[in-house]
Chains A and B, each alone.
Chain A
Amino acid sequence: MTDSVQTPRTEPVRHRDDRLRRALFRFSQSKLSMIGAAIVAVVLFFAVFGTVLAPFPGHVAGAVDTANQFQAPSAAHLFGTNELGQDVLSLVMAGTTVSVLAGFGVVLIGSVIGTLVGAVAGFVGGWTDEGLMRLTDLTLTIPSLILAMAIAAALGPGFTNMVIAISLSWWPGYARLVRGEVLAAREEVYVTAARAIGASPARILFRHILPNVVSPIIVKMSLDMGFAILTVAGLGFIGIGVRPPTPEWGTLLSLSRANMPGYWWTAMAPGLAMFLAVFGFNLLGDGLRDILDPKARR
C-alpha cells in the first residue's frame, strides 16, 4: 500500500458515550433545566411510591374520619383535612400516580398515533398526505377539551376511557410536527444514498428517517406532559374523569371548590402539585430541546 492510504490515526480515540456526556454537560449548564429535572424526579418518585408513603394510607383507600373534618394545616396534617376528615397530603401524594400515569398515557398514545399519521403523510406524499393532513386539521378545529368531553361522554367515565378520549384529541400536534420533520429528512443526502443502494421504502422510513426525527418528538412529549396532566385534571374537575374515591388532582380540586374560601387548604395542595408538575415538565422540556434539537447544536 502506498502512504496515501494510511489511516490518519492522530485523532484522539473518542467513545460512544461521549455524546451522552456532552449532552449531560450542556444540560447541567442550564440551572433551570436542572431544577426542572429535579421537580420531575420528585413527581415521578411520588407517582411510584406516593400511595405507599402516604401518612394515612387508609384515607387513600377511601376511609373517612368525619370527627376530624376540616382540620387546618398542622404537624399531623401538613395540608389539613377535607370534608370527610381525610388527610389532604395523603390524597395528593396518592393522586400523583393517577395524574402522571394518565398524562403519560395520553402523551404516549397521542405521539404514537401522531407520529404514524405524520410519517406516512410526509413520506408517501400526494393524496395520502392531503387526506391525512385534512383529517388532522379537522381534529384541530374542535377544541380539545370539548372533543375529549364528547368522547368521554360516549365511552363512559373511567381512567382508561379518559386517557383514550384525551389521546384522540391530542395527536394532531404530533402529526404536524412529524410530517414537517419527515419532509425535511426525506431530502437528506443519506436518504438519497439509501435509495441508491436499493433500500425498500419501509427500511428508509424506519431506519433512516424516523430515528432522525425522534429528538423533536421527545422534546414535544416532555413539554406536553404538563399540559396532558392539566387536561386530565380538567376532565376530573368537570367530573368526567376518574371518580372518587380514587384520588386524582382534578377531582380533589373540584370537590374542594365547595369548601372555598373558608377551608382554602383543601384546594391548595392539589393546586400546588399540579403547578409544580406542569412547571417541572416544561423546564425539563426546554432543557431537552436545547440539547436535542439539532438546530441548537453548534
Chain B
Amino acid sequence: MSEPILQIENVSKTYAARRALFGRTAEVRALKDVSISVQKGESFGLVGESGSGKTTLTRSILHLETPSAGRILFEGQDLARLSPADLRRLRARVQIVFQDPYASLNPRMSVRDIVTEPMLVHHDILGLSRTQRTDRAAELLSLVGLGPQHLTRYPHEFSGGQRQRICIARALASGPELLLLDEPTSALDVSVQAQVLNLLCELQDRLGLTYFFISHDLAVVRYLCSRVALIYRGELVEEGTTDEIFDTPKSDYARMLIGAMPEVKVRRGATA
C-alpha cells in the first residue's frame, strides 16, 4: 500500500517570456522545486488557484512538457530517460480526464471510436481485435453508467455529465493504474458533480486505481482525497492528510483558502 507510484522530485519549470517589444526576455517560473510522492491506490489532491502551476505540473506528469530541473518517476522509472517506445507504453498506464467535457471529445468521432482509440493506439500491448475492442468499449460504457446503445452516437448528443462519463471510459480503456483528474467536475452542475464523484469513488474501489486529483474546489478535494497538497505560485505550500489540512492548517494560505470557501453550514433536510 505504501509503495509510491508517482514521485515528483524537486521539479522546476521556467518559461522564457518576452516582456517588451525589443528583447528583454524575463523568466516565468511556473514551478519551483516541487516534490510530491503519490502512493499506490490513494487519492491525492492537488489544490491551487489559477496560475499556481497545477496545469504545468499535470502536463509534466503526462510528459507533454519537460521540467527544467528535477525528475518525475513513475514506478521508479525516470520519465525523461524512457525511450520513445517505453514512453508510449507508459501512456497506457497513466491517463487523464480533463476539466471541460465539451472540449475534450472530438466532435467528429463516434463514442465507439473515442473509447476504442486508446486500445487501437496501444494495440501492441493490449492486442485486442476489432470486435473485442467494441465489446470492451461497451463494457467500459456500462462501467461508467452508460450503455452499449450509446456506442454509435456522437458527443453533441450527450449532456455534460454524460460526456464526462465518456471521458472517464476513454481514460480507463487502456487499463491505466494512475488517473490524473484535472478538475473533472468543475464544469458540471452540483447534482451531476455528485454523481461523477460517486462514480470515481466506485471505480477506484473496484479497479484499485490511484487518483491524482487537481482542483481549486476544496470541498470536492475534501470529499474525495485522503491526502492533499496546496500549491501557490509554483511552490508547494503545505502537504498532509485531508483532516490535517482542513482541521489544523499550518500555512496562512491554507487558512485563507479554507476561509474563502463558500459553504452551506446547516443541518441537512433528509432526502431520498
A–B direct contact (CB < 8 Å): yes
Interface residues, chain A, CB within 8 Å of chain B?
1-2, 4-8, 11, 14, 16, 18-19, 188-190, 192-200, 203, 207-208, 211-212
Interface residue? B103 (CB, 8 A): yes
**Chain A hits for B62, CB < 8 A:** 195-196
A115 CA to B122 CA in the complex, in Å? 29
Partner of A196, one of B91, B100, B108, B157: B91
A18 CA to B167 CA in the complex, in Å? 23
Docked-complex contact B95 and A196, CB < 8 angstroms: yes
Q: Total A-B residue pairs with C-beta atoms closer than 8 Å?
A: 88
**Chain B hits for A193, CB < 8 A:** 96, 98, 104-105, 167, 170
Interface size on B, as a range, is 35 or more
Q: Closest Cβ of chain A: how far from B234's Cβ, in Å?
A: 21
A169 CA to B219 CA in the complex, in Å? 60
Docked-complex contact B145 and A199, CB < 8 angstroms: no
Closest residue of chain A to B62 (Cβ to Cβ) is: A196
Docked-complex contact B91 and A190, CB < 8 angstroms: no
Partner of A199, one of B95, B103, B117, B202: B117
A205 CA to B62 CA in the complex, in Å? 20
What are 15 A-to-B residue pairs whose CB atoms are below 8 Å? A2-B202, A5-B144, A5-B198, A7-B146, A14-B153, A16-B153, A16-B154, A189-B104, A192-B64, A192-B98, A193-B167, A197-B174, A198-B87, A198-B88, A212-B108
Q: Which 6 A-B pairs have the closest CB atoms?
A: A198-B91, A4-B198, A5-B145, A189-B103, A211-B108, A189-B104
Closest residue of chain A to B98 (Cβ to Cβ) is: A189
**Chain A hits for B118, CB < 8 A:** 197-198
**Chain B hits for A2, CB < 8 A:** 198, 202
**Chain A hits for B195, CB < 8 A:** 4-5
Docked-complex contact A203 and B121, CB < 8 angstroms: yes
Q: A5-B199, A197-B117 are in contact. Are A11 and B107 (CB under 8 A)?
A: no
Q: Besides the contacts A4-B194, A193-B105, A195-B62, what 16 more A-B pairs have beta carbons closer than 8 Å?
A: A4-B198, A4-B202, A6-B145, A14-B153, A14-B157, A19-B156, A189-B98, A190-B105, A193-B96, A196-B62, A196-B95, A197-B91, A198-B87, A198-B91, A198-B118, A207-B106
Partner of B106, one of A4, A190, A195, A198: A190
Most-contacted residue by chain B among A1, A6, A190, A203 (CB, 10 A): A190
Partner of A4, one of B117, B122, B199: B199
**Chain A hits for B157, CB < 8 A:** 14, 18
Q: Closest Cβ of chain B: how far from A284's Cβ, in Å?
A: 23
Q: A190-B106, A199-B121, A211-B108 are in contact. Are A7 and B147 (CB under 8 A)?
A: yes
Interface residue? B14 (CB, 8 A): no
Interface residue? B37 (CB, 8 A): no
A7 CA to B166 CA in the complex, in Å? 12
Q: Closest Cβ of chain B: how far from A120's Cβ, in Å?
A: 20
Q: A189-B98, A192-B64, A193-B98 are in contact. Are A8 and B159 (CB under 8 A)?
A: yes
Interface residues, chain B, CB within 8 Å of chain A?
62, 64, 87-88, 91-92, 95-96, 98, 100, 103-109, 117-118, 121-122, 144-147, 152-154, 156-157, 159, 161-162, 167, 170, 174, 194-195, 198-199, 202
Q: Closest Cβ of chain A: how far from B220's Cβ, in Å?
A: 15
A7 CA to B153 CA in the complex, in Å? 15
Closest residue of chain B to A294 (Cβ to Cβ) is: B107
**Chain B hits for A208, CB < 8 A:** 106
A16 CA to B111 CA in the complex, in Å? 12
Q: Closest Cβ of chain B: how far from A33's Cβ, in Å?
A: 23
Q: Closest Cβ of chain B: how far from A200's Cβ, in Å?
A: 8
Closest residue of chain B to A200 (Cβ to Cβ) is: B121
Q: Closest Cβ of chain B: how far from A294's Cβ, in Å?
A: 9
Docked-complex contact B152 and A16, CB < 8 angstroms: yes
Closest residue of chain A to B113 (Cβ to Cβ) is: A207
A84 CA to B205 CA in the complex, in Å? 89
A5 CA to B194 CA in the complex, in Å? 10
Closest residue of chain B to A185 (Cβ to Cβ) is: B106
Docked-complex contact B96 and A198, CB < 8 angstroms: no
A188 CA to B118 CA in the complex, in Å? 18
A204 CA to B106 CA in the complex, in Å? 11
**Chain A hits for B103, CB < 8 A:** 188-190
Q: A7-B147, A16-B152, A189-B98 are in contact. Are A194 and B198 (CB under 8 A)?
A: no
Most-contacted residue by chain B among A5, A192, A197 (CB, 10 A): A197
**Chain A hits for B167, CB < 8 A:** 193
Closest residue of chain B to A18 (Cβ to Cβ) is: B157
Docked-complex contact A8 and B122, CB < 8 angstroms: no
A290 CA to B267 CA in the complex, in Å? 53
A57 CA to B190 CA in the complex, in Å? 73
Q: Closest Cβ of chain A: how far from B218's Cβ, in Å?
A: 22
A2 CA to B95 CA in the complex, in Å? 25
Q: Closest Cβ of chain B: how far from A9's Cβ, in Å?
A: 9
A193 CA to B106 CA in the complex, in Å? 9
